[in-house]
Amino acid sequence: MRLSRFLLPTLKETPSEAEIVSHRLMLRAGMIRQHASGIYNWLPLGLRVLRKIEQVVREEQDATGAQEILMPTIQSADLWRESGRYDDYGKEMLRIVDRHERDMLYGPTHEEVATDVFRKNVKSYRALPQNLYQIQWKFRDEVRPRFGVMRGREFLMKDNYSFDLTYEGARHSYNKMFVAYLRTFARLGLKAIPMAADTGPIGGKLSHEFIILADTGESAVFCHRDLLDKPAPENVDYDSDLQPLVDSWTSLYAATDEMHRPDHGVPEGDLVSARGIEVGHIFHFGTKYSAPMGATVTAPDGSSQAVFMGSYGIGVSRLVAGIIEASHDDNGIIWPDGVAPFDIGVINLKVGDAATDGVCADLYGRLRAAGKDVLFDDTDDRAGAKFATMDLIGLPWQVIAGPKGVAKGMVELKERATGERHELSIDSALAKLLG
Amino acid sequence: MRLSRFLLPTLKETPSEAEIVSHRLMLRAGMIRQHASGIYNWLPLGLRVLRKIEQVVREEQDATGAQEILMPTIQSADLWRESGRYDDYGKEMLRIVDRHERDMLYGPTHEEVATDVFRKNVKSYRALPQNLYQIQWKFRDEVRPRFGVMRGREFLMKDNYSFDLTYEGARHSYNKMFVAYLRTFARLGLKAIPMAADTGPIGGKLSHEFIILADTGESAVFCHRDLLDKPAPENVDYDSDLQPLVDSWTSLYAATDEMHRPDHGVPEGDLVSARGIEVGHIFHFGTKYSAPMGATVTAPDGSSQAVFMGSYGIGVSRLVAGIIEASHDDNGIIWPDGVAPFDIGVINLKVGDAATDGVCADLYGRLRAAGKDVLFDDTDDRAGAKFATMDLIGLPWQVIAGPKGVAKGMVELKERATGERHELSIDSALAKLLG
């Protein structure tokens, strides 16, 4: 993409309305613009990141055998009356009356709709387990939306709903998501720690929040130091017994503020006390929805049984901000490779200089031909502004070409994360970037 | 994908509520399920088609240099008051009041929001032209939703908004979309004909509907016979003058019912009278929104000028139904290659027979390794049911393996569109499918 044709309205000034660094940087980098309180437009740079995160989430869900569907944003209130939540849900639910005076709502979550899809289309235990997921916009009418897309009103989530005949089956479905989440967040360049979460009236222990540590986190969290370096699982066979793997994580203490207890038993030197941002939540809730809504299957013995369910959420739009909170410096964003809006930025320091133009066009063409996403700064801005913009938007690599270097057949290669710059021959730079 | 793990709730009976063939087939093939009037759940098979169409649309937009953004579904009423449309728009607009008593709405279209994005982020003629597109859900509260996703309330559209300094520039932006639409629909396996459409108070001739011909079409259309065979343009240079190419289409008579006039001048034998389905609409509307909303740029002479705009829509979810209307037979859907939910279906006629199981697993593995999307019917249904399901869901190719053929090293290859079946060696079948 040529920057001269790309809508990238960066801001030099720090927007006064932004309280946290991710919100400031997303505005300054031209990723988002507020439409109304808690509601955002995603500009080209921001949307590219959102889609990359979405794709990582999708691939890891597909690997577990979960199936992607898409449920509507506008839902009938009737289903929520069946589950009993219509009256209980507070003002966060955006309630709507349609032209025929029917009560509708903009889905803040999809348990009811997913349960309805299941009960209408699956009748026998033989079709179990099922795990249906979607990546869909939701709306929660927060009383005080803040922190940009970190706590917006219209937000993108990946949400799954699993359906099993037995508790044991449901626990396996839960474990699959536990492992898939570890892998997903690792691929996003994040260190997300599963922490025991409240199960409320459901009871049991099958509820975990996945928390990333960041100074600007919304709440205090506590965990055993060993969790910080524990690598995400690789080469997972999701049909195998995942319990030992899950236990290897849950046996190490980790708790959010509400769940933190004095008798945690972690030696003082091993207890990490930090602030965290919730980016995922997995929860087994048994027959909470299936029983009242009649989501039953025929069991092997011919009886009709309400299915055991769980739901599993990842805040996709929130993750854009979460990744920035975890990965930035004074100059701007530092994107992890897997979610960067472009892999490489090519900077032409002297547009109009034939030799430099030629080298840049050649680099741009060859990098793209090799399958790289490249942003080519072909504008006539001055060098300092170009450097500042490229650092601000945080692409992993920059290739900088100016007349002096080009005369010697050299360009500069800069790694955004370390700030290291090296002068290299053009071929060496290409080899390094494509190696 | 193994069918035994795929949620494909096909129906043997024709659903009574479905009036047109695409709606019937989408329900029978387990692609969609109604959630509420005009609001649908997309099940795995349907969502795969929707995403494939979306991707074709995206690629052809990107080729023109248009930039993808994403605007919110929930919009502030204030912008619509600025454009003057808030009070004019009828009951099709889903109006919402949020918890702070602010008037909001679920966007039925995005001219106002796009104009707002533009005016806040583009200030100079030097950044023109701009063409911003999104693929986003919209809501129109139709008084009588019908025909499934053909006229639903919550529907997916690709919509663009172009911004130019001059009318001539705007006409070039319009022509780009005209050509991109021809290419898009051709890639979707459709013969879409651009037909002059009403420009209302805007005047001029820059308004075309793209119509596919189908017996079940919603309205009567008329066109010159030569348009039916006119090939879509290839190898387009979008920076070149596209007017001659556009003229080669618009010089042939084509009009919807409302625009049809007796003095069309087409010899009787050359006039096609048919029924059509609108799948796209492109429209230049000058400064209709930019003037009242103050979407201006600094012109080369330093003056402030309202930009010339156009909008361009493709009904993405409607296209799923439109393609089925244009491509089906008594047995079910016949997907064009580019949008088929899977490329190939592999049918195991005798699950449990070791030799047949082995051949099927081998075929499934090798086809997938070659990058094909494969649906593998590994269920223990009887052969007749398997054939019926595979025909119903309309994958372009079927590979059928049973014990008798396998004993001879043979499988059957069936082409869905023609119904032709050939017995081939396994390697020949693979060569044919991967060739």
Taking the CA of residue B259 and the nearest CA in chain A, the distance in Å comes to 31
Chain A environment of B99 (Cβ under 8 Å): 91, 141, 143
Cβ–Cβ of A44/B117 closer than 8 Å? no
Q: Which of residues 320-339 of B touch A (CB under 8 A)?
A: none
Which chain B residues are within 8 Å of A80, Cβ to Cβ? Answer: none
Answer yes or no: are the C-beta atoms of A187 and A60 closer than 8 Å: yes
All residue ranges of chain B with pLDDT < 70 are none
Q: What is the distance between the alpha carbons of residues A119 and A210, in angstroms, rounded to a whole number?
A: 30
Q: For residue B210, what pLDDT is reported?
A: 97
**Cα–Cα distance measured from residue B378 to residue B349, given in angstroms and rounded to the nearest whole number:** 8
Alpha-carbon span B382 to A115, nearest angstrom: 30
Average pLDDT over residues A410-435: 96
Query: What's the rounded Cα separation, in Å, for the pair B287 and B162?
Result: 11
Domain assignments of chain A as residue spans, ordered by start: 3-333, 344-434
C-alpha–C-alpha distance, residues B53 and B70, integer Å: 18
A-B contacts at Cβ under 8 angstroms: 140
CB–CB of A205/A282 below 8 Å?
no
What is the Cα A35 distance to its own chain's centre? 22
Decide: residue A381, CB within 10 A, 0-12 exposed, 13-18 middle, 19+ buried.
Answer: middle
pLDDT at A202 over 80: no
- Paired residues of A192 in beta bridges: A212
ipTM of the complex: 0.96
Choose the mutation target among B67, B89, B97 for the interface with A, i.e. most A CBs under 10 Å.
B67
Q: How many CB atoms lie within 10 A of CB B208?
A: 25
Which class does domain A3-333 fall in? alpha beta
B261 touches A: beta carbon within 8 Å: no
Tell me what percent of the residues of chain A surpass a pLDDT of 70.
100
- For the segment A56-105, what is each residue's pLDDT rounded down to a tens digit? 999 999 999 999 999 999 999 999 999 999 999 999 999 999 999 999 99
pLDDT for position B170: 98
* A39 CB within 8 Å of a chain B CB: yes
pLDDT at B204: 81
Distance from CA of B323 to the nearest CA of A (A): 20
Euclidean distance between CA atoms A351 and B378, whole angstroms: 60
Chain B nearest CA to A96, separation (Å):
6
Whole-number percent of chain A with pLDDT over 90: 92
Peptide bond before A129: cis, by omega within 30 degrees of 0? yes
Predicted confidence at residue A203, as pLDDT, reads 79
Q: Is the pLDDT of residue A268 over 90?
A: no
Host H or E run for residue B271: strand B271-286
B89-101: buried (b, 16+ CB within 10 Å) or exposed (e) per residue?
A: beeebbbbebeee
Compare A17 and B226 and report the one with higher pLDDT: B226
Written as six digits, the tokens of B346 are 């592999």
- If you average pLDDT over residues A212-235, what whole number do you get? 92
d(CA A345, CA A415): 10
> pLDDT grade, residue A407 (50/70/90)?
very high
Q: Is A2 exposed, middle or buried (0-12, 13-18, 19+ CB in 10 A)?
A: middle
CB A185 within 8 A of CB A192: yes
Q: Distance between CA A260 and CA A160 in Å, rounded?
A: 27
Are A35 and B68 within 8 A, CB to CB?
A: no
Q: What angle do CA B194, B195, B199 make, to 5 degrees?
A: 120
Given a cut of 80, is residue A375 above it in pLDDT?
A: yes
Q: What integer pLDDT is reported at residue B15 of this predicted model? A: 86
Interface membership of A6 toward B (CB under 8 Å)? yes
User: CB B41 to CB A70 under 8 A?
Assistant: yes
How confident is the model at residue A83, as a pLDDT?
93
- In degrees to the nearest 10, what's the CA dihedral of A358, A364, A367, A369? -90
Using a CB-CB distance cutoff of 8 angstroms, which residues of chain B are in contact with residue A153?
A: 74
Q: Does B72 touch chain A (CB under 8 A)?
A: yes
- The kind and range of the H/E element at A186 are helix A167-187
Instruction: Specify the higher pLDDT residue, A430 or B219.
Output: A430
Cβ <8 Å between B70 and A96: no
Collapsing DSSP to helix, strand or coil, A233 comes out as coil
* Tokens linked to A164: 């099993």
User: Do A68 and B76 lie within an 8 Å CB cutoff?
Assistant: no
pLDDT > 90? residue A199: no
Q: Is B121 on the interface with A (CB under 8 A)?
A: yes
Question: Per the structure block, which two tokens stand in for A407?
Answer: 């005369």
> Which of chain B's residues have a Cβ under 8 Å away from the Cβ of A131?
none
Among residues B344, B365, B340, the alpha carbon closest in space to that of B412 is found at: B344
- Give residue-wise pLDDT tens across range B212-267: 998 888 889 999 999 999 999 999 999 999 999 999 999 999 999 888 988 989 99
Asked if residue A52 lies in contact with residue A340, where contact means CB atoms within 8 angstroms, the answer is yes
Mean pLDDT for the stretch of residues A383-411: 97
Strands A308-315 and A130-139 turn out to be: unpaired
Helices (H), B122-259: 167-187, 226-229, 243-250
Query: What one-letter code names the amino acid at B37?
Result: S
Residue with tokens 């043979």: B410
Residues 6+ away with beta carbon under 8 Å from A161: A110, A111, A114, A115, A118, A131, A132, A133, A309, A310, A311, A312
Q: Is the dihedral of CA A198, A201, A203, A207 positive or negative?
A: negative
Whether residue B156 contacts residue B317, with contact meaning beta carbons closer than 8 Å, is answered with yes
**Could you report how far apart the first and last alpha carbons of chain A are, in Å?**
22
Could you say which of B44, B74, B139 has the minimum Cβ distance to residue A67?
Answer: B44
Measured between CB atoms, which of B73, B99, B121 is closest to A154?
Answer: B73
Residue for token pair 């920059």 = A398
**CA–CA separation, A230 vs B276, rounded Å?**
60
State how far the alpha carbon of A365 is from the alpha carbons of A143, A300, B59, B64, in Å: 49, 61, 19, 18
- Count the neighbouring beta carbons within 10 Å of the beta carbon of residue A434: 13
Q: Supply A207's token pair.
A: 């509820």
Identify the CA nearest to B97 among candidates A91, A1, A184.
Answer: A91
CATH superfamily of A344-434: Anticodon-binding domain (3.40.50.800)
- Please tell me the distance in Å from A163's CA to the nearest CA on chain B: 12
Whether B69 and A116 lie within 8 Å, measured CB to CB: no
pTM for this predicted structure: 0.97
If DSSP states are collapsed to H, E and C, what string results for A324-351? HHHCEECCEECCCHHHCCCCEEEEECCC
Q: Which of A89, A95, A98, A160 to mutate to test binding with chain B, by most B CBs within 10 Å of its CB?
A: A98
Average pLDDT, chain B: 96
pLDDT score of A217 = 86
